[in-house]
Chains A and B, each alone.
Chain A
Amino acid sequence: MNFDLTDEQQMIVDTTRKFVESEIVPAEEHLDPDAGSLEPHDFERLVTKTKEMGFYGLDIPAEYGGPGLDTTTRALMAIEMSQHRAGLYNPCYGVFGGAGLAQLYEATDAQKERWLYPTLRGEKKGCFALTEPSGGSDPARAIQTKGYKDGTEWVLNGSKLYISGADKADYALLFARTSDDPGRNGVTAFIVDTDSPGFFVRRVVHTLRATHYATELQFEDLRIPEDQILGEVNGGFAIANDRLSRQRIPYAAGCIGPAIKAQAMSIEWAKSRETFGSLLAEKQAIQWMLVDNEIDIRHARYCVLEAAQKADKGLRFRTEAAMAKLVATEAAGRVVDRCMQIHGGIGVTKDLPLERWYRELRIRRVGEGPSEVQKLIMARDIIGGSFK
């Protein structure tokens, strides 16, 4: 593996870093410590800039008008974009634009016209409705929402849980069991407008993220025309798996940014804070914490870059992506935890971003497949699928 950046990658990293330091951090300073969005005028101003820079819609493939970044460059940007208070879950507060649901790139032309393109233009929002009260780690088996065909329509009944943004979404990508197969071969993906009769947002579910919540959905005789099936009947689970695995890499990279920032803050603090007649930086207990942080950060970075480079080379990267996700989420959690310890009292206050990163990083070990599922994925690859 070659971890040297190309000249272009280095320039993109430098540009992103400067953008975060010069635009995002100053705009964030006067916001509530738990803010999830910028002031509207700042958001508009910065979106104009990212569009002028040609960096808007980072995850949109080149054939759909995006910059067409490779996975490595995208991961490097994710490391930079998350280096501010809200950066873990709101990197740069979204001023680099979204890409819509990855699965919609596999949609029919008519479906793309109706949902994908308006999403890319920022006119529509979608949500991803997979997890159910019966579980999220093994969704193929856990899905109990049932669909049956009635004439040219499908009728769905069931519920979903921990669905982000459903109350503000215009449409949902919804997975339901449509055959007797208890596993992944019995699941169909539907695209449903959220104002359809029978689609209900039952409640808001609060999480460790102060400004963000998930929702619980319920479907009662929700009727969906046949042409709103994404892909094949009973083939919903296989859709866009490659794109999803790729997205796991910037997801992991995004955890490294707060860890890097927390470490930099801690080094500064240790070099200026005096206790018992000497600086914290002179105490071995603190030095070892800083060294452990550095090891964690570099380990995570190497894992993320290895996965990204394999993805870019067209090599199999499932194990590497799972390892990157596991290592980065857990390492970043440990780093921020140690940094709070180094900072002492002020570390747990909302005067510093550490407490927000600490809370939110805990979710990362569960979201997008918990650590244990990542190990399961790796075990299948290492030992062999027959032992699953």
Chain B
Amino acid sequence: MKVVVCVKQIPDPALPGELNPTTNLLKRDGKLILDESDSYGVEMALQLVEAAGGGEVSLVSMAPNNEMSGLRTALAMGADDAILVSDENLAGTDALGTAKVLAAAIRRLSPDLILAGVESSDGYTGTVPEMVAGVLDLPSVTFAKQISIDGDTVKVQRQTEAGYDDVECKLPVLLSVTAGVVEPRYPSFKGIMAAKKKPVEALDLQGLGIDLNTVGLVGARQETIRVTEAEERESGEIIVDDGDAHQRIAEFLGELKVI
């Protein structure tokens, strides 16, 4: 079985991020790391291949400056190989442009299954996986919290607000994987030492056969027009127990639709 995982490499969230004042886009010119939300997809892919008794896990990523630190982390976790798309004309690419690029890279690999995180931890559009499926004309199942493969069918428990839906779908398919469904393994010592030797195919737009006018700031149909400071968090309400605290807490949680 061949599984492709879309992985995004993002600026370290532990460091203060910086926006480009002209484009309002996050600066990505420093070291990038593996987006933690994608590490769940990598782990899920490794587990599915192990359960299938063999196969291959390939990564697909788009990043500036041929940055591959985050890819190396995923390779050290156990992925077999990767495609990295890097091209200066990709700066400012919106969600749909990103999907076109990833789809073109995925098409080269002809996978049985494509996994992606639900949303990235820097852009948060939460739309790229489904757009990739759309470009590839494949079915997609969102918010997968459990996945099993049965022959040419994938069985998915799809997280919903009320619980989960059981969904079955023929392969090939794209699944977006929710965070926390599996525990991503740490890169092993052997994996770290082997990561650099694993094949990473570096491609630019020309190599992928993508029209320059459909990606980057030129091709973007989405624009960040304004950025405002997040409101400061307001102090919470303190409930003093006069014998009815449990009811008031239950009502509060009910308003939040938590219970």
Contact = CB atoms under 8 A, between A and B. Distances in A.
A7 B190 CA distance: 14
Nearest to B34: A14
Contact of A19 (B73, B186, B195): B186
A303 B10 CA distance: 33
A49 interface: yes
Nearest to B73: A11
Nearest to A54: B189
Interface in A34-70: 49, 52-55, 67
Contacts of B193: 8
Interface string B164-197: 0000000000000000000001111110110110
A55 B188 CA distance: 7
Nearest to B192: A11
A15 B187 contact: yes
Given A7-B72, A11-B76, A53 B196 contact: no
Contacts of A7: 69, 72, 195-196
B186 A18 contact: yes
B178 to A, nearest CB: 19
A52 B190 CA distance: 10
A67 B187 CA distance: 14
Count chain A CB atoms within 10 A of each CB in B189, B192, B193 and give the residue with the most.
Answer: B189
Q: Classify the interface of chain A: helix, strand, loop or mixed.
A: helix
A12 interface: yes
A263 to B, nearest CB: 15
A55 B189 contact: yes
Nearest to B189: A54
Nearest to B75: A11
Contact of B188 (A8, A10, A54): A54
Interface residues of B, number: 15
B76 A53 contact: no
B82 to A, nearest CB: 14
A53 B188 CA distance: 4
A18 B187 CA distance: 11
Contacts of A12: 189, 192
A52 B196 CA distance: 20
Nearest to B190: A54
B165 to A, nearest CB: 31
B186 A15 contact: yes
Contact of A15 (B69, B190, B192, B196): B192
Nearest to A12: B192
A14 B189 contact: no
A204 to B, nearest CB: 38
A19 B188 CA distance: 12
Given A8-B192, A11-B195, A12-B192, A53 B187 contact: yes
B199 to A, nearest CB: 16
Contacts of B185: 52-53
A12 B186 CA distance: 10
A53 B186 contact: yes
Among the interface residues A52, A53, A67, which one has the most CB atoms of the partner chain B within 10 A? A53
B35 to A, nearest CB: 14
A15 B76 CA distance: 10
B190 A14 contact: no
Interface in A117-153: none
A83 B34 CA distance: 23
Nearest to B187: A15
Contacts of B195: 7-8, 11
Nearest to A58: B189
A11 B75 CA distance: 11
A336 B189 CA distance: 32
Contacts of A67: 189
Contacts of B72: 7, 11
A10 B192 CA distance: 10
A12 B190 CA distance: 11
Contacts of B196: 7-8
Interface of B: 33, 69, 72-73, 76, 185-190, 192-193, 195-196
27 contacts: A7-B72, A7-B195, A8-B192, A8-B193, A8-B196, A10-B69, A11-B72, A11-B73, A11-B187, A11-B192, A11-B195, A14-B33, A14-B73, A15-B76, A15-B186, A15-B192, A18-B186, A19-B186, A52-B185, A52-B186, A52-B188, A53-B188, A53-B189, A54-B188, A54-B190, A55-B188, A67-B189
Given A7-B195, A11-B192, A19-B186, 7 more contacts: A8-B192, A8-B196, A18-B186, A49-B186, A52-B186, A52-B188, A54-B189
> 10 tightest A-B contacts by CB?
A54-B189, A54-B188, A11-B192, A53-B188, A67-B189, A53-B186, A15-B187, A54-B190, A55-B189, A15-B186
